[in-house]
């Protein structure tokens, strides 16, 4: 458990989760894990990972929808620091709502950033949504006038792109408070750049202390950031996450899914799903027996084909590749799943064309036997030779592990 929690702590810190949040999180996991019944098909470390996943889902919270009920139009205020992606997020949200049948208007309430109004106009044209502009007016007045215009025009949703600053300051907060006093927003969404890291927590606290935030939108989730700021902000502010921006395109806005975000933060792929598939496909006792035979140098082609069949029971190869975590997942992206499926079938056909004695003692496979096996499996002799070469490499690796007592595993599989 200590080993697993150490890895979890490392993963969370690498994902830019605030260190105090990581400390509290690990304490909760430890409390649950001690004395927890370990399932027959999982080792203790995997059981800890399941508990971590469940705690992470509880921390991230359930997805919540926008408040679009009540008297129309519903006004949604987008707030955040400069460069967080508010303007683009407004256009993405407008596109999503419009596709759901809402009549949407966007409001340019950022007179300070150069080209901010022009950017919103351009995006408005792309998504087919009108943009309200009023030069020479203070943002609270612009928003109030836009709201009146939306009422007259039969709009159902008004999205307000507010001004940002390079850092938190009182002038920004006073302006947001003034807007909220003039019109009553149904939602106030804080737009957070996922690349901001641990500083995102202080940004969220600053906005929460001045306006009544109802939701979070994380942008630039398609970059290197794993989204650890989401845990920090949720843990401290309790504000629900509503959307994730996953690209530059207008369609690249996803409704928040806690399961997928949890896996991303841990760098696990869909490890939980992979564990569940393994539980269903693999017999624990058989797997342990095979592991002992491998380490003792008694691993045969019969063991090999049994493992292949268990892997195929887990489902389509593409699904397994998509579930692989971290660096393994990156390597897997370079594998053609169709080619991998074909290779698995070829391997199984070749081994099934051998006699029982040949599978147990591959040294019997001379040239004539290999030609017979190739004809029987519908393959070429080169395919049989390639399989035997791979099998010999596995045997050689197992002998190395036997001599070193398992040391060097990280070098072999790292």
Q: What is the pLDDT of residue 131?
A: 94
Q: Are residues 132 and 172 in the same domain?
A: yes
- Of 190, 224, 259, the last residue of a domain is 259
- Strand ranges across the sheet with 74-79: 131-132, 104-109, 157-162, 74-79, 187-193, 215-219, 241-245, 253-255
Q: What is the pLDDT of residue 125?
A: 93
Q: What is the pLDDT of residue 159?
A: 96
Q: What is the pLDDT of residue 41?
A: 47
Q: What is the CATH number of the domain that holds 254?
A: 3.40.50.300
Q: Are residues 52 and 131 in the same domain?
A: no
Q: Are residues 316 and 249 in the same domain?
A: no
Whole-angstrom distance, CA of residue 120 vs CA of residue 125: 9
The interaxial angle of helices 19-33 and 44-60, nearest 10 deg, is 130
**Is 266 within the bounds of a domain?**
no
Q: Are residues 185 and 278 in the same domain?
A: no
- DSSP per-residue letters across 327-387: HHHHHHTTS-HHHHHHHHHHHHHHHHTS-HHHHH-GGG--HHHHHHHHHHHT--HHHHHHH
Percent composition of the chain: helix, strand, coil (DSSP 3-state, to 5): 60, 10, 30
Q: Are residues 53 and 84 in the same domain?
A: no
Question: In angstroms, how far apart are the furthest CA atoms of the chain?
Answer: 90
Q: Are residues 249 and 296 in the same domain?
A: no
**Is 69 within the bounds of a domain?**
no
**Is 26 within the bounds of a domain?**
yes
Residue-wise pLDDT for 193-216, tens only, equals 877 777 778 888 888 888 899 999
Q: What is the pLDDT of residue 409?
A: 43
- In terms of residue numbers, what domain contains 116? 74-259
- How many domains does the structure of the chain reveal? 3
**Is 68 within the bounds of a domain?**
no
Q: What is the CATH number of the domain that holds 373?
A: 1.10.260.30
Q: What is the full per-residue pLDDT of the chain (414 aa) written as tens digits? A: 777 788 888 888 887 788 888 898 889 888 888 766 555 545 676 777 788 888 888 888 887 888 888 889 999 999 998 888 899 999 999 999 999 999 999 999 988 887 888 999 999 999 999 999 998 889 999 999 999 999 999 999 999 999 887 777 888 889 999 999 999 999 999 998 877 777 778 888 888 888 899 999 988 876 555 667 788 888 878 888 899 887 778 888 888 888 777 776 776 555 555 666 666 666 666 666 766 766 666 778 888 888 777 777 766 666 566 555 554 444 445 566 677 778 888 888 999 999 989 988 888 999 999 999 999 999 999 999 999 988 888 777 777 766 665 544 444 433
Residue-wise pLDDT for 9-38, tens only, equals 888 888 778 888 889 888 988 888 876 655
**Is 307 within the bounds of a domain?**
yes
- Of 259, 290, 318, the last residue of a domain is 259
**Is 221 within the bounds of a domain?**
yes
Q: Are residues 166 and 31 in the same domain?
A: no
Q: Are residues 18 and 87 in the same domain?
A: no
- Of 225, 259, 293, the last residue of a domain is 259
Q: What is the pLDDT of residue 301?
A: 85
Q: Are residues 41 and 141 in the same domain?
A: no
Q: What is the pLDDT of residue 201?
A: 80
Q: What is the pLDDT of residue 147?
A: 94
Whether the CA torsion 395, 396, 397, 401 is positive or negative: it is positive
What spatial distance separates the first Cα and last Cα of the chain, rounded to whole Å?
Answer: 21
Mean pLDDT of the chain: 81
**Is 65 within the bounds of a domain?**
no
Question: Rounded to two decimals, what is the model's pTM?
Answer: 0.64
Q: Are residues 105 and 188 in the same domain?
A: yes
Q: Are residues 369 and 290 in the same domain?
A: yes
User: At 190, which helix (H) or strand (E)?
Assistant: strand 187-193
**Is 264 within the bounds of a domain?**
no
Q: What is the pLDDT of residue 116?
A: 87
Q: What is the pLDDT of residue 327?
A: 46
Q: Are residues 191 and 308 in the same domain?
A: no
């Amino acid at each position: 458990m200590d080993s697993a929690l150490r890895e979890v702590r490392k993963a969370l810190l690498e994902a830019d989760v605030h260190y105090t949040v990581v400390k509290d999180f690990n304490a909760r996991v430890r409390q649950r894990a001690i004395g927890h019944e370990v399932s027959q098909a999982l080792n203790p470390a995997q059981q800890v990972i399941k508990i971590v996943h469940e705690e992470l889902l509880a921390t991230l919270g359930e997805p919540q929808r926008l408040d679009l009920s009540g008297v129309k139009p519903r006004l949604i205020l987008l707030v955040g620091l400069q460069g967080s992606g508010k303007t683009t997020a407004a256009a993405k949200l407008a596109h999503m709502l419009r596709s759901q049948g809402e009549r949407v208007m966007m409001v340019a309430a950022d007179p300070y950033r150069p080209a901010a109004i022009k950017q919103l106009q351009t995006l408005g044209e792309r998504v087919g949504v009108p943009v309200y502009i009023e030069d020479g007016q203070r943002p609270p007045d612009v928003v109030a006038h836009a709201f009146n215009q939306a009422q007259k025009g039969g709009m159902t949703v008004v999205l307000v792109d507010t001004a940002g600053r390079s850092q938190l300051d009182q002038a920004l907060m006073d302006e947001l408070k003034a807007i909220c006093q003039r019109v009553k927003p149904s939602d106030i969404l804080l737009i957070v750049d996922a690349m901001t890291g641990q500083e995102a927590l202080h940004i969220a606290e600053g906005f929460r202390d001045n306006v009544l935030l109802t939701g979070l939108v994380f942008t630039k989730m398609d970059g290197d950031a794993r989204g650890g700021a989401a845990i920090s902000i949720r843990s401290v502010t309790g504000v629900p996450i509503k959307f994730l921006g996953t690209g530059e395109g207008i369609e690249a806005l996803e409704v928040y899914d806690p399961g997928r975000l949890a896996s991303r933060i841990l760098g696990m792929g869909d490890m939980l799903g992979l564990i569940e598939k393994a539980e269903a496909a693999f017999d624990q006792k058989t797997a342990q027996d095979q592991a002992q035979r491998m380490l003792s140098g008694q691993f045969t082609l019969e063991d090999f084909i049994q493992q292949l069949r268990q892997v195929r029971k887990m489902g389509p190869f593409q699904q397994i590749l998509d579930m692989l975590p971290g660096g393994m997942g990156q390597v897997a992206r370079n594998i053609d799943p169709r080619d991998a499926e074909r290779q698995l079938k070829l391997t199984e056909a070749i081994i099934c064309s051998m006699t029982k004695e040949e599978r147990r003692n591959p040294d019997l496979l001379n040239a004539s036997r290999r030609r017979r096996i190739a004809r029987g499996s519908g393959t070429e002799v080169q395919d049989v030779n390639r399989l035997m070469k791979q099998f010999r490499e596995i045997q050689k690796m197992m002998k190395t592990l036997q001599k070193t007592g398992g040391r060097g595993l990280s070098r072999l599989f790292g």
